[in-house]
Amino acid sequence: MSYVVFLIALFAVIMIAGIVALLRYQRKQKEKIFSDKVLFLKTYGKELKVNFEDCAIVHRSYLEDGENGGKIEKHVSIVTCHAENINDKKAFFKTLPVFLPEDELQKRLSKQKRTSVYYNPSDPSIYFFDVGFLQEFMTV
């Protein structure tokens, strides 16, 4: 009887370890695909210089349950920018989500002043909005 329980517990531990390893592998693959895309666009794409004063911030805040039963206010923003004459059309670019209060994000953008958007000249919907200075507040 105890031998069967041991085998079941061992099987469960192996399954959990396998699931954790698979999830880590998938996350690393996503990060690699993202970094390959960025490298490709920076190498072969077109660069568009962007002034942050010409961009807009789309911001939302929401409440999340805290550890002690209280509510915690969370913030999420994206920076958006329109560009004219990208293949004779108007293009729209946006950053990945940035988890900062709007005023703090505005300060950081004002301090940085400019950045670049790298895009595929054949398909401007494939782009990378370079806000690496905000990396610690973003997700991939």
* pLDDT tens, position by position, 12-22: 888 888 888 77
Average pLDDT, the chain: 84
Please check whether residue 83 is in contact with residue 48, taking contact to mean a CB–CB distance below 8 angstroms: yes
Say whether both 90 and 61 belong to one domain.
yes
Say whether both 75 and 117 belong to one domain.
yes
Provide the token pair at 27. Answer: 């996350």
Say whether both 95 and 51 belong to one domain.
yes
Please give the C-alpha separations between residue 67 and each of 60, 64, 73, 74, 76, in angstroms, as whole numbers: 22, 10, 13, 14, 20
% of the chain exceeding 90 in pLDDT: 19
- Is the predicted pLDDT of residue 88 greater than 50, yes or no? yes
Say whether both 55 and 40 belong to one domain.
no
Taking the C-alpha atoms of residue 91 and residue 50, their distance in angstroms, rounded to an integer, is 13
Question: What's the pTM value of the predicted model, to 2 decimals?
Answer: 0.68
Say whether both 12 and 56 belong to one domain.
no
Structural domain total, the chain: 2
pLDDT given at position 136: 74
- Computed from CA positions of residues 112, 113, 117, 118, in that sequence, does the dihedral angle turn out positive or negative? negative
- Is the predicted pLDDT of residue 140 greater than 60, yes or no? no
pLDDT given at position 1: 63
Q: Count the alpha carbons within 13 Å of 95 in the hemisphere toward its beta carbon.
A: 28
Q: List phi, psi (to 5°) of 25.
A: -60, -45
Say whether both 54 and 30 belong to one domain.
no
- Is the predicted pLDDT of residue 80 greater than 90, yes or no? yes
Top pLDDT among 35 and 140 is at: 35
Say whether both 56 and 73 belong to one domain.
yes
Element (H, E) at 27: helix 2-44
CA dihedral 15, 18, 19, 25 (to 10 degrees): 180
Say whether both 65 and 133 belong to one domain.
yes
For 88, the domain range is 46-140
Mean pLDDT of 35-62: 87
71 alpha-carbon distance from chain centroid: 25
Provide the token pair at 79. Answer: 């920076």
